[in-house]
Amino acid sequence: MATILVTNDDGILAEGIWALASKLEQLGTVYITAPDRERSAIGHAVTMNRPLRIKRYKEKVFMVDGTPADCVKLALEKIVPEKPALVVSGVNNGPNLGTDILYSGTFSGAMEGALYGIPSIAVSLVEAFTKEAYENAATEALWAATMILSKGIAKETVLNINVPSKVRGRCLTKLAPRLYSKAFDERKDPFGREYYWMAGKVIYGDFPEDADVNAVKRGLTSITPVNFSLNRISDPLPYKEWPLD
């Protein structure tokens, strides 16, 4: 049986993490190490300017007063007694589609596991945050975890999974650009001073058929293998003519 580490960015009390951990117990021993509060959209931040504290929540469940990346680092070095076979982050309350993963604490929790050489999954629920929908997302994560444990995964890769509320199938996808119109709502406080609240609406472009955003629109679970190796040049041709001397 496998040892599996589960984390998230919505905090230890989030419904999605418990649905996920419960489902993954079919594959082995599950440890949970999650933030003690919501840490959404914190990206891959780590805490360096203050000490971190771990508090036992229950057996094999711990909460950390830090970020998702902090949680995974501490779990691997101080909590889990052996190197896990898998790190799974989620189930996130909302989508992590396209380039939004660059801001996502959910994705970063999984990527931290991959940085340690552990196969990792980030799973997010796109809509309809009901108990049934979380169960569906956890079931999709269980399927992906079973595939990875039996068939493997490419090195330096995280599976980014987005699950619609009602799943009609699965497909492999690619990341789509995610841009927002009127990203900030300008307001005034009671003293007449301006402040800005991040809001905005997604700009939907003419994305390829295999884009993750198109998959979830069709009711399909989007499974995007994301390679985090930043030193790879996918297309060197534009740079070959640059004078480097």
Per-residue pLDDT tens over the stretch 173-214: 999 887 776 778 899 999 999 999 887 777 777 788 889 999
Strands 54-58 and 61-64: antiparallel
How many C-alpha atoms does 102 have within 13 Å on its Cβ side?
8
pLDDT score recorded for residue 198: 84
Beta bridge partners of 157: 227
Give ∠ CA 102-161-185 in degrees, rounded to 5.
Answer: 45
pLDDT tens digits for range 121-163 = 999 999 999 999 999 999 999 999 999 999 999 988 999 999 9
Tracing tokens 């660059």 back to the chain, one arrives at 102
Sorted by where each starts, the structural domains of the chain and their CATH numbers stand as 2-175+209-229 (3.40.1210.10)
pLDDT value at residue 230: 64
The dihedral of CA 176, 143, 120, 118: what is its sign? negative
What pLDDT is attached to residue 149? 97
The residue-averaged pLDDT of 113-119 equals 96
The pLDDT of residue 177: 82
Residue 9 has pLDDT above 80, yes or no: yes
- What sections of the chain are H helices per DSSP? 15-24, 68-74, 105-115, 131-151, 212-217
- What is the average per-residue pLDDT within 47-66? 97
Q: In which band, very low, low, confident or very high, does the pLDDT at 237 lie, cut at 50, 70 and 90?
A: low
Question: What pLDDT is stored for residue 84 in this prediction?
Answer: 98
Amino acid letter for position 42 = I
- Spatial distance between the Cα atoms of 149 and 228, rounded to a whole number of angstroms: 20
On average, the pLDDT of the chain sits at 92
Kindly report the CA angle at 41 between 35 and 44, in degrees rounded to 5?
70
pTM (predicted TM-score): 0.92
